[in-house]
A and B are shown apart, each in its own frame.
Chain A
């Protein structure tokens, strides 16, 4: 049994089969990338995995547990964290608050203890802060700690989102186009970080990405998708050379 399995996953929007019977397996500790032309259903798969969309068919199994019917807000507690294609940070909060929010799945305090701010709440807050500081150190975000997100440049926001996902203590990380909007240098940094996340933190990565240099640099396995159907799976080089993939991208 693999670490993460999608079996025959499907979803329809009206008459459109956005994801049509997609199956894949992600092994623990690997970087698994989904590629495909625009509208192929990549982000939709992410939204299915994070339970924002209700699948019309198929099954999701994470670490031996069927998560097809787990509500969206319970996903983080299971160890599945994600970033968004169009940055979804809490813009009018500081970077620190954004990262602390990511600790929400580990919240143990009750409403009443919080309203009185009992010592136990303070203790928990400091524990969360320590966890957050690890992510800040890991991704070099120290200088932005107290800045509001609206005042941060795009590249930093992208990294902040990665940090926020890491703060949930994930076992599998869903990265939705981590390099979109980044320049070449920032994309290279992103590649190093993804490798570090895999090698140093031991987090499995499921990624959607367009930038083939990043895909080849970090992916262990790649799945190509077109019109909601998988057309090829294998190493980055294999998939790039696959005739179906070439046809999907270039036509003909």
Chain B
């Protein structure tokens, strides 16, 4: 177990806990930068999704994980960002300008949607944002002069200051760059008074108010910031899928984002990234397993002479080929996570870390929560 000896208040403020932590993140950075040179283009493309989903995850984490406001409409913000970016590029705006405009427009939409959030919480807010996303989806399909409706909208590869990002590898680095920037800005906010105010609103509105937090301003701010980040993700998303159609930005995508933050672990930026890895990589992993499980099981059956093994393998492969199985597996994992690990993958990660750092003295009960004390009805 490593104890940190603190000699200055700065140690609680800076980004990395200490040099050893910073070294680990440095190692991670080297691995992430080197990865495209070690993988096929296909896998580089799939990893890019991790970064884009990571940005989406940060966006929703700020709102759901830190401010405690649930949104079922974040696909709409993604769509607004994507369409706005594509629209401005199509009309000749430079890439950076198009992106900034996309972010500004999404932020404005976030502020507008945030207004009802000042009066609503929980399920009511979820329904309001859901309604918003349905309306926006309708706008995407009807406003043909801008979105081209169901005919769709082709998005060219990004060209920034004359530099072309045509292959998977360069786009991978572009997305990685923006993810790092977003993580850094968000982390800055979270270690400053604004982030604390968000956390305060999440845990007790009445106490936050009595400590001087203006609920209306900080809730709108959370919505606006979350939408802005989502708009940025939308711009990258547009390039990634290369073809925008209204039926991409459905409630299913919004739910997938929620799943991302819950599986990753609510209330931590690590969770947003863990969740993004999970959501982005599960489909390709299922695709790989579809073929590799029957193959390897049949091989095993031939080697051992136990025929049922091969049949089992074929059955599993058959099952994984069924339509809708992906959504089913997502749902199953979500249920299991909520039941078994409410803190998500990040919670599991903390436990693993503690296990190794205190080995062999680890006690599972370290993470047992006390029963919470009853609160009388909240004053609203």
* With A52-B209, A88-B206, A114-B192: A154-B373 Cβ-Cβ less than 8 Å: yes
Chain A to chain B contacts (Cβ below 8 Å), 9 pairs: A73-B214, A73-B215, A86-B373, A90-B204, A90-B208, A104-B193, A111-B221, A125-B13, A151-B370
Q: State how many angstroms separate the Cβ of A41 from the closest Cβ of chain B.
A: 15
Of B26-34, B153-161, B194-202, B248-256, the one contacting chain A is B194-202
Q: Is B363 an interface residue (CB 8 A)?
A: no
List chain A residues, Cβ under 8 A from B197: 101, 104
- A114–B372 Cα distance when bound, in Å, is 34
List chain B residues, Cβ under 8 A from A85: 376
Smallest Cβ-Cβ distance to B15: which chain A residue: A117
- Secondary structure of the B side of the interface? helix
Smallest Cβ-Cβ distance to B267: which chain A residue: A92
Q: By CB atoms of chain B within 10 A, which of A73, A82, A122 has the most?
A: A73
Q: Mark B141-168, 1 if CB is under 8 A from A, else 0.
A: 0000000000000000000000000000
- A85–B191 Cα distance when bound, in Å, is 29
Q: Is B9 an interface residue (CB 8 A)?
A: yes
Q: Is A126 an interface residue (CB 8 A)?
A: yes
Count A-B contacts at CB 8 Å.
Answer: 124
* With A89-B204, A104-B196, A117-B192: A77-B370 Cβ-Cβ less than 8 Å: no
Interface positions of B (Cβ within 8 A of A): 9-10, 12-13, 185, 188-189, 191-194, 196-197, 199-200, 202-204, 206-215, 221, 267, 369-370, 372-376, 379
List chain B residues, Cβ under 8 A from A91: 203-204, 372
- A151–B69 Cα distance when bound, in Å, is 24
Smallest Cβ-Cβ distance to A152: which chain B residue: B370
The list of the 9 closest CB pairs from A to B, nearest first, reads: A105-B212, A76-B212, A90-B203, A114-B192, A88-B207, A117-B188, A88-B204, A73-B214, A104-B212
Smallest Cβ-Cβ distance to A153: which chain B residue: B370
Contact A90 B200 (CB under 8 A): yes
Further 6 A-B residue pairs, CB within 8 A, beyond A72-B210, A125-B191:
A86-B376, A88-B204, A93-B199, A97-B199, A104-B211, A125-B9
